[in-house]
Structure 1
Amino acid sequence: MSFTSRPWHWSATVWVPASAASILVITLIGTRFAALDQPTARPLDVLGVALLVAGPVALVARRRFPPAVLIATVVVVTVYLAAGFPFGPVFLAPLVALCSAVLAGHRWVAYLTTAAAVLVLVVVHMLRNPGALPLAGAAAWVAVLAAVIAACEGWRARRERLVQAAAAQEQAALRRRSDERLRIAQELHDVLGHHVSLINVQAGVALYLMDDDPEQARSALTAIKQSSRDLLREMRATLGVLRGVDTEPPHHPVPGIADLGALVTDVRSAGLPVEMRVEGDVADLPPAVDRAAYRIVQEALTNTRRHAGPATATVLLVYAADELTVQVEDDGSWPVWAGEDGGGNGVAGMRERAQALGGSSEIGPRPEGGFRVRVHLPVPARRDTGVGR
């Protein structure tokens, strides 16, 4: 494992004991020099040095046991001062322990322990100096502690915001990956369903006419070859996106409404009579709406060929100012409709395409017989091309 892949390991095993050792050195040396100006204090002996060492040493465990370490350092300092030893930088260890407890989220333990420590130290000071009420000193320490706690709370809040932002980014990335998988699954379903259905029909025609009408059989085989070529091309483009290997733009444009004429021709050649009508002023569409409209018509016609039996179909596109309506209906004899949840993957895919664009769908049997797919797709700020006027 490389060094750069273990920053947290380095922080936990080196930084924590190194910082505790630094505080120990500062405490010992600083207290030694501070004692020179306190002739009435108890001279540092083995007990005093042991107490000075105990607080910084306890800081080694502050990441695992923040409240316990805070209480331990406060008790050590209280005993040290109550024993009459000289003042000095003995409060460094409790301050660091206080910060660790607040940052770890043990806020109330830290607040109560700090308040109790201030009261006890005031009492100790009054016992060591009878008749002296350290109001100024106590106020100064309270101000220092308030500033330290405020800084720790600010740092903790910032760290929590960073964690929440990272979690939100991860969730957004998961949603994007999920949406992309769903889009690719829909593309594969529509592409496979359409082309494989055409190939199956044309293969049946070729087998049936092989002996009696070789020329018609040849036309069916030619249609099979073309459908298989289109299938392979679209499969390669879709799987290339899934693998992430296609860094160049696709050589063939994504199918859209402009390709519906070729789609209808293929469906007619497979034996399903189809009429196509366009109402309203034809205009440019956003790519997502253009692709969704094509796929919805493709899937609806594929379902008609599979389930409607002998039938005729009608494809209707209605352009409005802020909406495109796509309707595909037939007059076939469909099996019993299984309801909203029983329409199979194709119906679910059409609904999902509409919902993803903020549109709506009406899919089900017609009262007069047959089946209807009607989808409304919102089209914001379309630019009129004048085509079809």
Structure 2
Amino acid sequence: MAPFEAGRTLKPVIRRAWAWWRGHRTLVDLAFVSPLLFLSITSARYYTEPGPAATSRPIPEQLCIPLVLALLLPLALRRRWPVGVFSWIAGLSFLQWLLDLTIIPANMGVLVALYTVAANCSFRWALAAGLVGELGAVMAAWRYTVHPADRKYTVVMLSAVVAGIWILGVYISTRRAYMRSLEERAVRAERERDTQVQIARAAERARIARELHDVVAHNVSVIVVQADGASYAIDTDRERAKKALEAISATGRLALAEMRRLLGVLREEDDAGSYAPQPGVAQLSDLVEQVRSSGLPLDFQVEGVPVELPPGMQLAVFRIVQEALTNTLKHGGPGVSAQVRLHYGDEAIEVTVTDDGRGAAAEGDGLGHGLAGMRERAAMYGGEVHAGPRAGGGYRVVARLPLREEAKSA
């Protein structure tokens, strides 16, 4: 078997073993302490007889094995009840010290329990367990050191062991907390990323909704005007009616093409489609001709020195003019005429659309979002829109968009 295939085969086995490890902590901890348990039981007879340089009494033979089991078996539950297990083992060791019984290998269980408290409990419990362990090291060095002159060295040695185990446990606890914080931060970042994606999608759909509103409202208004003209002229002027129907057909095709382009952006399965560019200032002439062909007399003027505008600002200018002319077609009334003025200034570009229609007397249907859409588009570039009836009759829309430094230089 190739090394790569062997690695792929071992990965599921390792994952299953790790899952079993995490699900059977008691058995794992019992297996972990089994070497110390085996050592303590097999060497128990050496601690039931007094040694040549004994500093304490030997453990009674009938008490040695039960003491070993009482000191080590609770370690199988050390991660479930770390403080309780440490208190039990430390208490037995203290009772052993009070009874002046000799120290045995099973007393090392107190160090394992100390590490567990430091690694799994709060710092307050870890500090308390560390102080108890340090006190036990001093007491053990004082009683079980053979030569009194060596007691201070024994104290230093045992204290270093206790401190090292305690520091290791606190380090593991801190590392676990740090890893948990990283996991929580990653989950939070992923959640925030998903939220940002949803917000971006909602904003894109809102933009497309505004685009659809502008496209549909304008083209449908042109179609309605042309259809009314065709219905009036069909009996008296068939040629004019024919031209109106041709304009309706062309406008409908244009509306369908723009709607298909905008709705294509919403397709999630096919992102590879190519879409036509968004209209800009250069397409205002086509828009003016389309409106004129619908029967609305329109005067279009460009003043100042044209500058290169960002595509988004060009689209905003186009849609503002389109929406204003759509409102003129819908609410201006019969015999209305309009004027579009595009002025390039030193600091801003100004769009003015006026008509001599009904003005304040026009009744809206209350369903449109055109004025709000114009203001939103202008606000995206730090501009503003003022719209309202004129004093002498008619309606006026004035939009002012500041020019950025890059647009001025261009």
Fold agreement, TM-score > 0.5: yes
* 2:340 aligned with 1:315: yes
Matched residue, 2:35: 29
Tell me which amino acid in the other structure corresponds to 2:128. A
Between the aligned partners of 1:313 and 1:11, the Cα distance in structure 2 is 80
Give the ranges of 4+ consecutive aligned residues of structure 1 lying more than 6 Å apart after TM superposition.
Answer: 9-12, 131-134
Q: How big is the shift at 1:28?
A: 2.7
Between the aligned partners of 1:268 and 1:11, the Cα distance in structure 2 is 79
Tell me which amino acid in the other structure corresponds to 2:70. L
Q: Is the 8 A contact 1:31 1:87 kept in 2?
A: no
Segments of structure 2 that go 5 or more residues without pairing to the other structure are 1-14, 48-57, 94-103, 144-150
Matched residue, 2:99: none
Q: How big is the shift at 1:118?
A: 2.4
* 2:261 aligned with 1:255: no
Structure 1 segment 159-308 matched on structure 2, within 5 A? 159-244=183-268, 245=270, 247-250=272-275, 252-308=276-332
* 2:126 aligned with 1:114: yes
Between the aligned partners of 1:240 and 1:11, the Cα distance in structure 2 is 50
Matched residue, 2:351: 326
Q: Is the 8 A contact 1:329 1:373 kept in 2?
A: yes
Segments of structure 1 that go 5 or more residues without pairing to the other structure are 1-8, 59-71, 102-109
Rg larger in structure: 2
Matched residue, 1:375: 399
Q: How big is the shift at 1:90?
A: 6.0
Q: Is the 8 A contact 1:52 1:90 kept in 2?
A: no
Between the aligned partners of 2:27 and 2:320, the Cα distance in structure 1 is 70
Between the aligned partners of 1:164 and 1:316, the Cα distance in structure 2 is 51
**SS of alignment partner, residue 74 of structure 2:** helix
Q: Is the 8 A contact 1:31 1:89 kept in 2?
A: no
TM-score, normalised to structure 1's length? 0.77
Q: How big is the shift at 1:229?
A: 0.5
Structure 1 residues 100-130: Cα deviation after superposition (integer angstroms, max 9, x where no partner): 66xxxxxxxx122222322344455566666
Q: Is the 8 A contact 1:313 1:328 kept in 2?
A: yes
Between the aligned partners of 1:15 and 1:368, the Cα distance in structure 2 is 87
Matched residue, 2:86: 77
Structure 1 residues 142-168: Cα deviation after superposition (integer angstroms, max 9, x where no partner): 533443344334334433432332233
Matched residue, 1:17: 23
Between the aligned partners of 1:196 and 1:10, the Cα distance in structure 2 is 65
Worse-superposed segment, 368-377 or 92-101: 92-101
Between the aligned partners of 2:28 and 2:107, the Cα distance in structure 1 is 19
**SS of alignment partner, residue 282 of structure 1:** coil
**SS of alignment partner, residue 231 of structure 2:** helix
Q: Is the 8 A contact 1:26 1:89 kept in 2?
A: no
* 2:372 aligned with 1:348: yes
State the Cα RMSD in Å: 3.6
Structure 1 segment 125-136 matched on structure 2, within 5 A? 125=137, 136=160
Change (3 A) 1:96 1:328: farther
Worse-superposed segment, 83-92 or 273-282: 83-92
Matched residue, 2:53: none
Between the aligned partners of 1:198 and 1:241, the Cα distance in structure 2 is 25
What percentage of residue pairs aligned between the two structures are identical? 34
Between the aligned partners of 1:128 and 1:349, the Cα distance in structure 2 is 83
Structure 1 residues 167-224: Cα deviation after superposition (integer angstroms, max 9, x where no partner): 3322221221111111110111111101111111111111111111110000000000
